[in-house]
Amino acid sequence: MKFYVYLLRCSNGTYYVGHTDDVARRLEEHNTGKGAEHTRKYRPVHLLYTEPFETEQDALRREMQIKHWSHAKKAALVAGDLPELKQLAKRRIK
């Protein structure tokens, strides 16, 4: 069984990140109000990105990583803009 990390765009422009073993089913749940509280408030949601994993643990680890990213970094991931993603990943010195 494969697991997937997925990224949705909500109707208010925010991103939602989750993981599942069935992307189509989970997308339908989000769009019918049976998903997360955030996606219930801001429907419809649109699938922008998926990433496959062999184990649920690996998918969950990646989900947690992406959830901590900025909106700009998530946008770069969705766009497949690797140079921008690397630039945004650099730590800023205060």
Q: What is the pLDDT of residues 42-64, one digit of tens each?
A: 999 999 999 999 999 999 999 99
Instruction: Go through the domains of the chain in sequence order and give each one's CATH number.
Output: 3-89 (3.40.1440.10)
Strands (E), the chain: 3-9, 15-20, 46-53
Q: Answer yes or no: is pLDDT of 94 > 80.
A: no
Is residue 17 a contact partner of residue 6, using CB atoms and an 8 Å limit? yes
- Give the length of the chain: 94
Average the pLDDT over 2-20 and give the result.
97
Q: Kindly report whether the global pTM for this prediction surpasses the value 0.75.
A: yes
CB within 8 A of 84, min separation 6: which ones?
76
Q: Answer yes or no: is pLDDT of 93 > 70.
A: no
Strand order of the β-sheet with 3-9 is 15-20, 3-9, 46-53
Residue 90's pLDDT is: 81
Q: Kind of pairing, strands 15-20 and 3-9?
A: antiparallel
- Compare 91 and 11 and report the one with higher pLDDT: 11
